[in-house]
Amino acid sequence: MVRRRRKLAEELDDWETEFGKNRLRFKDLYYATKGFKEKDLLGSGGFGRVYKGVMPGTKLEIAVKRVSHESRQGLIEFVSEIVSIGRMSHPNLVPLLGYCRRRGELLLVYDYMPNGRLDKYLYNTPEVTLDWKQRIKVILGVASGLFYLHEEWEQVVIHIDVKASNILLDEELNGRIDDFGLSRFYDHGTDPQTTDVIGTLGYLAPEHTQTGRATTATDVYAFGAFLLEVVCDAKDTNMGSEYDEKEVELVLKLGLLCSHSNPRARSSMRQVLHCLRDDAKLSDLSPLDLSRSGMMFGVQNRFSE
């Protein structure tokens, strides 16, 4: 009995008096995941491991992220997720249901996304892939989610790690942004003060690696790389022959624009969303002097040669 109580023991810190309303019992999570069995492992990475579970009583399917003891961010990363997405609500964000702590173990509990991570559909065999209609739906969802983070929520949220492996697909194949462990947030109208270079190589904006300063423009850069990733080298053959050529061209152009080396040349997520929804054309974006090349972008309804 003593060993069992120790095994399921929990702890409570001061910060949890404000953010602890969604605290879940370790005992319930332990039984939901059948003791965190390997057969229920959904994935793993630098953050730790994620397990599938079913909550006792409600039968709700969940995903439990056990943050690694050796995680670089540790408790700070853990609290960041609770504070940020715990108070947000948007159909293109993975909802955080609650959390748990025990003896240095950090657990985050989410709605289970039955179709898993987007990257497996882009890089696995052709038998597991998405056609163009499904891909543009995911792109629209991610753009909508980022716009919410940058402009619609009560604070500005910089995700910092936008990439295909951090996009999960729900049962209807809607794209949902996941993993806010590196996110930063600040009041509208103020400047972010981050000075650390964090994120994933290949998605890091040049100015971020030089100054360590993460902004909404650095998220836009990562989103641009993400767009090119989803279309895959001009056109992924796994998309098949049924696709809208103009839509594919638009997404490629937006990907190049958003991932431009000059942050002033990038669009905002509001502008990107307008283009994707056909409320605006690329030519409607403000012309900017791309000083390094001397090119003008958006002057005509086409890309300058």
Binding-site residues sit at 65
CB 286 within 8 A of CB 298: yes
Nearest to 272 by CA among 290, 257, 288: 257
Binding site for ATP, residues? 65
Backbone angles phi, psi at 186, to 5 degrees: -155, 170
Tallying the residues shown for the chain, one arrives at 305
**Which residue in 111, 119, 131, 161 is the catalytic one?**
161
Residues 251 and 136: their CA atoms lie apart, in Å, by: 9
Residues 267 and 208: their CA atoms lie apart, in Å, by: 17
**Radius of gyration over every alpha carbon of the chain, rounded to an integer in angstroms:** 21
Q: Which stretch of DSSP H or E encloses residue 119?
A: helix 119-123
Residues 238 and 250: their CA atoms lie apart, in Å, by: 19
Structure tokens at 271: 């502008």
Nearest to 273 by CA among 254, 256, 288: 254
Q: Tell me the angle at which helices 132-147 and 269-276 cross, rounded to the nearest 10 degrees.
A: 150
**Would you give the DSSP letter of residue 287?**
P
Residue type, 145: G
Q: Which residue has the tokens 């994933």?
A: 200
**219 is known as an active-site residue:** no
Residues 133 and 123: their CA atoms lie apart, in Å, by: 18
Residues 87 and 70: their CA atoms lie apart, in Å, by: 27
Residues 276 and 260: their CA atoms lie apart, in Å, by: 18
Q: Which residues belong to the active site?
A: 161
